[in-house]
Structure 1
Amino acid sequence: MSLNVAFRSQAETCTRMGSPFMGQLLSILAAHWPEDTALGQKFASFEGDIGPSGHSLPLRIAGGLHALVPSNAAPELAALYPPHQVSDDLLTKGVLDALSTHEDFLLEWTDSAPQTNEVRRSAALIAGAHVALQYFDLPIHLSELGASGGLNMMWDHYALEIEGGRFGSNVPAVLFTPDWDGAPPPNARPVIADRAGVDLNPLDPSRGDHLLRMTAYLWPDQPERLNMTRAAASVATTRPVQGDAIEWLGPRLASAPQGHLHLIQHTVAWQYFPAEAQARGRALIEAAGAQATPNRPLAWLSMETDGDTTGKVGAALTLRLWPGDITLELGRADFHGRWINWTYGS
């Protein structure tokens, strides 16, 4: 995939997911990318997949440009960003000026892959946990793989509200109201006894520079995502550790306590693990599942792309439970949690 194609493909995706500004910005970058600069040469040096399943170069530079706005480092650029609406010509000039003026910052920023912590995915986690508790009603020992800043480990501080009622905290820091299609999830009262997560590059939302990195990858014309992220950050009390997810998972599985449901969760993370790591992780979890008992059960809740391009682009919601090795296809969800097609119990 060429850089031009990557920019245009990402522009189409962002527009389809409700961000016309990102579509405009990335289309401008596709048409006017400065190839003869240090930034242009750096991007040209990347090998392999440069799209969203790989290095994700379009989102790296879009996030870097966005980071200049709330930090007031580029007031001229900020004047062109939402809530303002400007012509392609004005935005093109502002973006090219920013790429030149702030090249050193953008060179450093784009060293790392995009990293958000889409908290609206917790709507699916809340619903999935309610199903797990229908089978094993025990306090939860929670483990998250690819936890980023840990915001989705805090789903017991949030609530999901759909036509069938409210599920979650009575005083939620964040309230999710996705377009819900299907029966409501089962009633349950989740209690998270302890929680831990791991990430190759964990972020600490209590640090301003880390929170900036998380919010810079939120799309500028979607302020509701920014507000939810900041609200979730205010109650984030557990920091993920740095490490390889599968290496971390082994001891975590071995030390799961009696009298608790060990719930492993991940959202749009597993799909980025190398195939070998996925195989090792699956073997670890299945081996632990084979040793599970009713007083020490195991649940594996995932929200990952299913490659379905026939309908809405989204992720499959899957829950595996042990003992019994029960696999439940719960439904599908939008990558940003805007909608959930819930099939469990329907």
Structure 2
Amino acid sequence: MRRIEESPATPEVIELRQQLLDFVAVTDSRAPLYARLAVGIAEADEVLTILAAAPQTKRLPVTLFAAIHDVLLANPDEPLADWYPNLSSSRRSDDPVPALLELCSRRRAELIELVRTRTPQTNEIGRSSLLLVGLSLLAAEVGPLAHLDVGASAGLNLLVDRFRYDYDGHHVGAGQIELRCGIRGESRPELLPSALPVITSRLGLDLNPVEASDPEQVRWLEACVWPDQPDRFERLRLALAEAAKHKARLLAGDAIDDLEAAVAELGPGHPVVTTSWVLNYLGEEGQRRFMKAMDALGRHRELSLVCYEAPNLTPGLDWPTEVAETDLSVLRLFSWRDGRRTDEVIAKGHPHGYWLTWLR
């Protein structure tokens, strides 16, 4: 395919092109549409420069794809929508790249504004399957938990104890929404939750919390879901309805500067902070500052952190050598007891929680 932009590519564009090609390996099996589009975008410098307009920490393929998806959800009569399974009942199977390039050229200013001002907020509840493993191991040690989710978006992962889970036949919970997580490799049933943890208080912290009753904000959440995955759309809508019933409290604030105040807002129970695919947006220096803020809190009180992050995108967390370069997500449990920090990696898994492999 001929590139739209024939002038020499900048180093920034070359780096983004490689990101798109790497993204293909992640999406090919479960999101073939995005894999096809990613190959086309990697060859179109004019489209890559749209993504280059995003702030450094948000300059990721998912940011651009969410922006395009948001435009299509708002304008389902756009020609490109004919290739999206969630937008067309008789979707086309031929090459979608020409329609993509035309859309990006015609709506360039709109897409640039979206990637500049919006942060991907997948709020993927499938990650609760991994978070629950960490929270349950922690609850076995300390008892009832006071849960603060950083990067909470609409607060859906604050419902971690209200879902029903199936770990390859190992069942826990009785909620209406079922999350399935396969186990790859050794089964290790003793590490799986035997019961849901008791959560006595819950709070979300996010720069821009999503109001579940705001159609535009909900559309952005839907735009962050990959169109080839209808199960995720269904789960998102069910979880939004569940969140509307329980109305967990959400605070607007910074993950670092407002962390101490947010922890202080928690009620009774052992304070535990969770993050899932949010620390990558802080950049390496921001990640180090976040951990320093956690260390500062942990010097004066018992505290824990359960995170599910991609090590290759969060070098500021100083991952153990054996997982430091992986592009999978890794479940890690930090504990502060008597002013001292310990941590361990527990499992690695699919970014959306479809499976895990034990590392503990």
**TM tier, smaller:** 0.7 to 0.9
Which of 283, 288, 293 is 2:292 aligned to? Answer: 283
Query: Which residue does the alignment assign to 1:320?
Result: 334
Which of these residues, 17, 31, 34, is aligned with residue 22 of structure 1? 34
Q: Which residue number corresponds to residue 217 of structure 1? A: 224
Distance 1:40 1:327 in 2: 39
Query: Aligned residues, how many?
Result: 324
What letter matches 1:171 in structure 2?
G
Aligned partner of residue 110 in structure 2, secondary structure: helix
1:80–1:94 contact (8 Å) kept in structure 2: no
Rounded Cα–Cα distance in structure 1 between residues aligned with 2:293 and 2:326? 32
Structure 1 gap segments, 5+ residues each: none
1:66 matched to which residue of 2? 69
Q: Does 1:124 align with 2:136?
A: no
| 1:70 Cα offset (Å) | 3.3
Tell me: CA distance 1:191–1:98, structure 2 relative to 1, closer, same or farther (3 Å): same
Shift of 1:40: 7.1
Structure 2 residue 24 is matched with structure 1 residue 11: yes
Q: Match for residue 261 of structure 1?
A: 270
Instruction: Write the distance in 2 (CA, Å) between the matches of 1:310 and 1:194.
Output: 33
2:98 maps to 93
Q: Give the drift of 1:94.
A: 2.2
Secondary structure at the counterpart of residue 99 of structure 1: helix
Find the counterpart in structure 2 of residue 298 from structure 1.
Answer: 303
Q: Does 1:55 align with 2:59?
A: yes
Residue among 227, 231, 234 paired with 1:227: 234
**8 Å CA contact 1:68, 1:74 repeated in 2:** no
Question: Secondary structure of the equivalent of 2:72?
Answer: coil
Aligned position for 1:159: 164
User: Quick one: distance in 2 between partners of 1:268 and 1:218?
Assistant: 14
- Per-residue CA deviations over 1:268-306 (Å, capped at 9, x if unaligned) read 2223324444344323333433433xxxx4221111223
CA contact under 8 A between 1:128 and 1:301: conserved in structure 2?
yes
CA distance in 1, matches of 2:326, 2:288: 28
Shift of 1:78: 1.9
1:149 aligns with: 154
Letter in 2 for 1:97: E
In 2, the alpha carbon distance for the partners of 1:175 and 1:68 equals 30
- Distance in 2 between the 1:148 and 1:217 partners? 12
**Structure 1's 29 and 286: CA in aligned 2 closer, same or farther, altered over 3 A?**
closer
Distance in 2, matches of 1:233 and 1:54, equals 25
Tell me the secondary structure at the aligned position of residue 86 of structure 1: coil
8 Å contact kept, 1:149–1:239: no
Residues of 2 paired with 1:5 and 1:163: CA distance?
35
8 Å contact from structure 1 (residues 206, 233) kept in 2? no
Give the RMSD, CA atoms, in angstroms: 2.9
- Indicate whether 1:247 and 2:257 are aligned: yes
Q: Give the C-alpha shift of residue 326 in structure 1.
A: 4.5
Please say if residues 50 and 111 of structure 2, whose CA atoms lie closer than 8 Å, have aligned partners that are also in contact. Answer: no
Question: How far does the alpha carbon of each residue in 1:80-124 deviate from its partner, in whole angstroms, 9 at most, with x for none?
Answer: 222624222xx2332233234444432332222333211110111
Quote how far apart the aligned CAs of 1:219 are: 1.2
TM superposition shift of 1:320: 2.4
Q: Which residue of the partner structure matches residue 334 of structure 1?
A: 350
TM-score (norm 1): 0.82
Q: Which residue of 1 aligns with 2:201?
A: 194
Aligned partners of 1:134 and 1:188 also within 8 Å: no
Q: CA deviation at 1:54?
A: 4.4
Deviation at 1:217, TM superposition (A): 1.8
Give me the whole-angstrom Cα distance separating, in 1, the residues matched to 2:255 and 2:228. Answer: 33
> How far does residue 21 in structure 1 lie from its aligned partner after superposition?
0.8
Tell me the SS of whatever aligns to 1:318.
Answer: strand
Q: Say whether the 8 Å CA contact 1:246–1:281 is kept in structure 2.
A: yes
Work out whether 1:136 is the aligned partner of 2:111: no
1:180 deviation in Å? 1.6
2:319 matched residue in structure 1:
none
- Alignment-mate amino acid for residue 287 of structure 2: Q
- Structure number with the higher helix fraction is 2
Match among 76, 79, 92 for residue 76 of structure 1: 79
Tell me, which stretches of 5 or more residues in structure 2 are unaligned? 1-11, 313-321
| Residue aligning to 2:180 | 177
**How far 1:212 moved relative to its partner?**
1.0
Secondary structure in structure 2 of the residue aligned to 1:127: helix
Per-residue CA deviation, residues 197-256 of structure 1 (Å, 9 max, x unaligned), is: 212232223321111111112111111111111111111222532221122211233455
Identical columns (%): 25
